[in-house]
Amino acid sequence: MSAPTANGITRVGVVGGGLMGSGIAEVCARSGLDVVVSEVREEFADSARQRVATSLARAVKSGKATDAEAAQAQGRIRVLVGLDALADRQLVIEAATENEQLKLKVFTDLDAIVTDPEAILASNTSSIPISKLAVATNRPHRVVGVHFFNPATVQKLVEIIPSLLTSEETVATVVDFAERGLGKTVVRAKDRAGFVVNALLIPYLLSAVRMFEAGHASAEDIDNGMVLGCAHPMGPLRLLDLVGLDTTRSAAESMYAEYGEPHFAPPALLSRMVEAGLLGRKTGRGFYTYA
């Protein structure tokens, strides 16, 4: 049985079971909520199930969860194929690939599938304006950005981004859901590409790529400089590998399209690496090579 949050949300849907989607699903399940993850194919669903199981096993090994708690969380998550599985959800969080056309289709489809007209449709996008997603539905007042950070099971921050059409009731509900329901810290951002964190982070990451591309320093020296010189927990190029070079390029392109400022433009090296499939940790090679 699901434990209700302070705002009454007990049934959560997640679109996409990748790194972010599976993490969001786990956070919700460990908070006592009933979670359905929608994937497009059965092999992707299997991968999502394995991802959650591995993460929960890691939590047990590190002492952050007991065997019983991990088993209960696992039992609250169902990974199914197709968006139809989300029809009865009170809150659906879209965590699909950072592609605007794909996300627009997801929101159009969810609007027709999710039966409760007052259900909230949220996006975990890191850069796409929420208003573009809202107008793809017939419930723009119930569409909002709820942006988690990677890994969602560890990072405490959630950005809440209302569009000009989002109702205050919707904002209050998702803020309460994130804070009291999931134990996260919330920052509220305006509906502008990149919101708060990525509007600051992406130019920094792109500057590191340009420095490496120009041959001013090695990847190791750039990263060590920021870790040891500025007390960052991770250097920018290792962070790029963790986030995914394709995700970073998509975010940069979205912000460059909105602002037209050169520091948001993806460097040529970043684009060539994405085209070559060197996306970072998820492909085993980016600025570094991984086992």
159 part of the active site: yes
Per the CB < 8 A criterion, the answer to whether 147 and 126 are in contact is: yes
Rounded Cα distance between 107 and 25, Å, is 19
218 part of the active site: no
Residue 156's closest CA among 148, 167, 164?
148
- Residue 23 makes CB contacts below 8 A (sequence gap 6+) with 55, 148, 150, 151, 152, 153
210, 264, 154, 152 alpha-carbon torsion, rounded to 10°: -130
Q: Which of 126, 127, 163, 254 is catalytic?
A: 126
Cis peptide before 162 (omega within 30 of 0): no
Please provide the DSSP assignment of 193-240 as one string.
TTTTHHHHHHHHHHHHHHHHHTTSS-HHHHHHHHHHHH--SS-HHHHH
94 part of the active site: no
For residue 182, give both structure tokens: 């999931």
Q: Which of 159, 163, 250, 253 is catalytic?
A: 159
Q: Which of 7, 123, 147, 253 is catalytic?
A: 147
Residue 180 sits at φ, ψ, to 5 deg, of -85, -30
253 part of the active site: no
Q: Which of 55, 163, 198, 250 is catalytic?
A: 198
Per the CB < 8 A criterion, the answer to whether 15 and 57 are in contact is: no
Neighbour order of strands in the sheet with 143-148: 77-81, 34-39, 11-15, 91-94, 120-123, 143-148, 157-162, 185-188
Q: Catalytic residue positions?
A: 126, 147, 159, 198
